[in-house]
Amino acid sequence: MKKRAAVGMVLSIALGASSFLFQQPAEAKGGEEIRYSKEYKTPAYIGEKWSKPKNLKNEEIVWAYLHAKKSLFKLKGDVKSQFKILKQEKDSLGMTHYRVQEVYHGIPVYGSDQTVHTDRDGNVTSFFGTVIPDLGAKKIQTTAKIGKEQAVQIVRKDLEAQPGNISRLASDPDTGLYIYPHQGNYYLAYHVKVSVIQPEPGYWHYFINAVNGEVIRKYNTVHQLTGSGRGVLGDRKTFEVDHKYGKYYLKGTSRGGGIKTYNAYHVIYESQLPGTMVSSKTNYFLDGAAVDAHAYAEKVYDYFKNVHGRNSYDGNGAPVISSVHVGRNWNNAAWIGTQMVYGDGDGIVFRPLSGALDVVGHELTHAITEKTANLEYHNESGALNESISDIFGAMVDSGDWLLGEDVYTPKQSGDAFRSMSNPTQYDQPDHYSRYVRLPDTPDGDYGGVHINSGINNKAAYLLAEGGTHYGVNVTGIGRAKTAKIYYRALTLYLTSRSTFADMRQAAIKAATDLYGSASQEVQSVKNAYSAVGVY
């Protein structure tokens, strides 16, 4: 039996349920290029050069633009009461980028976020995102009848009802109040994000009805699946350490808020994380999993800092924390909101997962995604979330287009758990016509996020390396340019509910910004996505 069978039966079952669906390209109207949201029938993308009114600047331009597009977005009333500008960022090209949030009576609407982009003269060049039309006409409860603390207790009780012993959560889980659209209804809800260790590590998202305390939805984004030392594979690595009170610690202080690595072998509850900082009597460390986690975290940090100018995952120098030896024979690694956790594997499916540079890069990219586009972890946006982590995992570990080959099935050589160059080798689709429609449930991989990521992975591979796929020829532009395009698309253009079609448009826009609209890079982006059936 080939090794890929270890990934689980869901992959082989899922491919048998493929839907042969094609996406529709954007339409052009009077100089505007518009692509509409299938769900709300409002623009998900607008490309144009919208000339700003005279004497307007900064946020005033955004308000004027949204007002001018009211009819397209099917909005009524004052747009200033329906949106909030969250962030303004000027880039090295002289462009200014705004992140915007739709609100209802001042309460943010979950998943309804947008980006508006202006050139150096203040003219709007593009809009990305989801706008829910005419929310003001809907009667949505805006007064919470339970508090944040009660919502957290409801989450705690629900988790404790699951098999295993989960009795200690973080003292102050990340909790926010939103209007939450779900299955055609609109709820006033708390979004509670909490990490757990038992019965296995998880990073849970709960939506709790703020009126009656019911659990509306829940999902887990951890899906089953200058000192020196030797790593998991026996290779010697050099990295920064700290010396204090006669001991050496896996703590580097020269990068942002620091690179810190902990041993979580004795950790039972999430509140005990990150564990005990890994130490040694000498500056030579023997714990291979810890050595790799620490050295690779440094490499990933340096990659994003040196190549993309990003200071840690939040852009503001947050400490990069890793815990190794998490769980017992846990075959996984994960970003859990504030840090990375790595299992030791069971020795059959995986060896310690921190032993793969691309795995470490993958997990830290999840952290960057959470701080930027915040792609929702289900259906197409979830598949993009996974794919973008794969892309940057492959960029950091640039020797091949495989994922996890250094730690997967240690007793059998020559394989991996995903291939970006040939997704079908590991039961992933490589074209949108083979998109796998699965239920948005844990058993359905939340709509196939780890399965359908192969489509965008293939596009990224073609963009970098070139080739002919489904009869479409793509001229490769190399890894470096491909990485710059995807980084810009992720951090500036994508929003929480972006689809594959949005990804295509964001990549085109990023390539246009960087290399010009008539460049080979832009044409290669278009061809790469055409080759995988995304328009």
Residue type, 291: V
Distance CA 343, CA 323 (A): 9
For the chain, give percent helix, strand, coil, nearest 5: 30, 25, 40
Residue type, 422: N
Q: Which residues contact 9 (CB under 8 A, 6 or more apart)?
A: none
Mark residue 446 as left, alpha or beta (left: phi above 0; alpha: psi -120 to 50; beta: remaining): left
From the candidates 117, 191, 205, 450, which is the catalytic residue?
Answer: 450
* Residue 273: closest CA among 221, 317, 325: 325
Relative to beta strand 320-324, strand 259-263 is parallel
Residue 289 CA neighbour count, 13 Å, CB half: 23
HEC string of 149-177 equals HHHHHHHHHHHHCCCCCCCCCCCCCEEEE
From the candidates 270, 298, 363, 386, which is the catalytic residue?
Answer: 363
* Residue 201: closest CA among 324, 379, 385: 324
Distance CA 326, CA 324 (A): 5
Helix count (H) and strand count (E) of the chain?
A: 12, 27
Q: Is position 363 annotated as part of the catalytic site?
A: yes
* Residue 73: closest CA among 46, 100, 96: 46
Q: What phi and psi values does residue 288 have, to the nearest 5 degrees?
A: -60, -40
What residues act catalytically? 363, 450
